[in-house]
């Protein structure tokens, strides 16, 4: 869960550039959302690390990667 402390840490960290701060704050904002619902089979595959969400957050609008269907 994202807390105000997490946000303050990003804002006050002197190691971050402006762009890094913006990207990190956007990621924190995305993680305030609930993850989109998935079928049980998909949830099981994610849990077993058969497929990976690449730890990109909960926002459902990043269709950059394709999972091929080899059937």
pLDDT of residue 58: 76
∠4-10-12 over CA atoms, to 5°? 95
Neighbours of 16 (CB within 10 A): 16
For residue 16, being part of any structural domain is answered with: yes
The verdict on residue 32 lying in a domain is yes
Q: Rounded to an integer, what distance in angstroms lies between the CA atom of residue 10 and that of residue 30?
A: 15
Tell me whether residue 33 is in a domain.
yes
Contact 54, 27 (CB under 8 A): no
Closest CA to 31 of 57, 60, 63, 4: 57
Asked whether residue 68 is domain-assigned, the answer is no
Asked whether residue 15 is domain-assigned, the answer is: yes
**pTM to 2 decimal places:** 0.60
21 lies in some domain: yes
Q: How many domains does the chain have?
A: 1
pLDDT in tens, the chain (71 residues): 889 999 999 999 999 999 999 999 998 998 888 888 999 999 999 999 898 877 777 776 666 666 777 87
Domain that holds residue 36: 4-47
DSSP structure class, residue 26 = H
């Amino acid at each position: 869960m994202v807390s105000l402390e997490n946000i303050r840490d990003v804002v006050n960290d002197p190691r971050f550039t402006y762009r890094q701060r913006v990207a990190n704050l956007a990621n924190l904002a995305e993680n305030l959302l609930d993850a989109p619902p998935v079928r049980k089979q998909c949830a099981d595959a994610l849990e077993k690390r058969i497929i990976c969400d690449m730890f990109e957050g909960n926002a459902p609008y990043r269709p950059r990667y394709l999972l091929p269907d080899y059937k």
